[in-house]
């Protein structure tokens, strides 16, 4: 699926540029975006090193286990195939917490770490059930306070920059809940076929 989408985007773009006469722009964008991707990855290094370092200490100090214990019932319901005391749960919770408070750059390293732990559980290069659930929740955004948007609204002299917080929270809850429902739907559809 991803192989197809990836090739499709590039092929359609190049073919369209032939007809539309935008080959110049494509040529330029090609290398600019490659450059940008490298910059993003390099920018991730500082965040990843810092957070994975701190989280390693937290893991050994037993803090992840405590965090996992408190919120375990809810998480076990959402991720039924992760064993009770598995470190994956601690990382999943850290990712959710970071997301909820809008700490996007802390959320990514913890999310990747959670994925890694879930991959250890499944042991294949195929996305497991809990991985997809985790991904679905992340893509639907768990952020409660959209700080970037508020900043933009302030910049353009909004009378109430934060008035969109309530609508954003409701929309986030609806999209997260539907992500969970759709995820369950496809999972059961898949298992029934097998």
Partner 1 sequence: MAIITGISIWIIPLFILIVLLTAVFKKLPAYELFVEGGKEGVKIAFSLLPFLVGMLVAISILRSSGALDAFINLITPLLAFLGIPADVVPLAFLRPISGNAALGVTTELIAEHGPDSFIGRLASTMQGSTDTTLYILTVYFGAVGIRKMGYALKVGLLADLIGLLASIIIVTLVFGR
CA atoms of 114 and 93, how far apart (whole Å) = 9
Measured from the CB of residue 81, what is the shortest distance to partner 1 in angstroms?
14
Distance, CA of 111 to chain centre: 7
Measured from the CB of residue 80, what is the shortest distance to partner 1 in angstroms?
17
Q: With CB under 8 A as the contact rule, which of the stretches 18-26, 68-76, 77-85 interacts with partner 1?
A: 18-26
Measured from the CB of residue 72, what is the shortest distance to partner 1 in angstroms?
19
Measured from the CB of residue 32, what is the shortest distance to partner 1 in angstroms?
7
Residue number with CB closer to partner 1 (25 or 81): 25
Provide the residue count of the chain.
194
CA atoms of 23 and 187, how far apart (whole Å) = 42
Please list every residue from 28 through 87 that binds partner 1, using CB under 8 A.
28-30, 32-34, 36-38, 40-42, 44-45, 47-58, 60-63
Measured from the CB of residue 134, what is the shortest distance to partner 1 in angstroms?
8
User: What do you get for the CA distance between the two ends of the chain, in Å?
Assistant: 20
Burial of 44 (C-beta count, 10 Å sphere; 0-12/13-18/19+)? middle
Residues 120, 140: contact at Cβ < 8 Å? no
Examine residue 130 and tell whether it contacts partner 1 (CB under 8 A).
no
Measured from the CB of residue 99, what is the shortest distance to partner 1 in angstroms?
9
Residue number with CB closer to partner 1 (50 or 80): 50
Please list every residue from 76 through 115 that binds partner 1, using CB under 8 A.
97, 101-103, 106, 108-109, 111-112, 115
Please list every residue from 143 through 172 that binds partner 1, using CB under 8 A.
143-149, 152-153, 156-168, 170-172
Based on its alpha-carbon atoms, the radius of gyration of the chain, rounded to whole angstroms, reads 20
What phi and psi values does residue 130 have, to the nearest 5 degrees?
A: -70, -30
Q: With CB under 8 A as the contact rule, which of the stretches 19-27, 70-78, 83-91 interacts with partner 1?
A: 19-27
CA atoms of 18 and 151, how far apart (whole Å) = 40
**List of residues 6+ apart from 52 with CB closer than 8 A:** 109, 113
Task: Choose which of 17, 71, 76, 121 interacts with partner 1 (CB under 8 A).
Answer: 17
């Amino acid at each position: 699926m991803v192989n197809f989408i990836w090739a499709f985007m590039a092929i359609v773009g190049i073919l369209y540029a032939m007809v539309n006469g935008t080959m110049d722009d494509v040529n330029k964008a090609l290398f600019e975006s490659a450059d940008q991707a490298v910059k993003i990855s390099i920018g991730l290094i500082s965040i990843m090193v810092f957070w994975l370092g701190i989280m390693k200490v937290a893991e050994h100090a037993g803090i992840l286990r405590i965090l996992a214990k408190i919120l375990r019932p809810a998480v076990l319901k959402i991720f039924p195939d992760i064993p009770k005391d598995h470190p994956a749960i601690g990382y999943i919770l850290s990712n959710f917490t970071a997301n909820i408070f809008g700490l996007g750059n802390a959320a990514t390293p913890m999310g990747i770490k959670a994925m890694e732990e879930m991959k250890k559980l499944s042991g294949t290069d195929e996305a497991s059930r809990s991985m997809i659930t985790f991904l679905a929740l992340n893509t639907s955004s768990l952020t409660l306070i959209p700080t970037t948007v508020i900043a933009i609204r302030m910049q353009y002299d909004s009378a109430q920059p934060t008035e969109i917080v309530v609508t954003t929270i409701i929309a986030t809850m609806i999209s997260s809940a539907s992500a969970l429902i759709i995820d369950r739907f496809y999972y059961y559809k898949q298992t029934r076929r097998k």
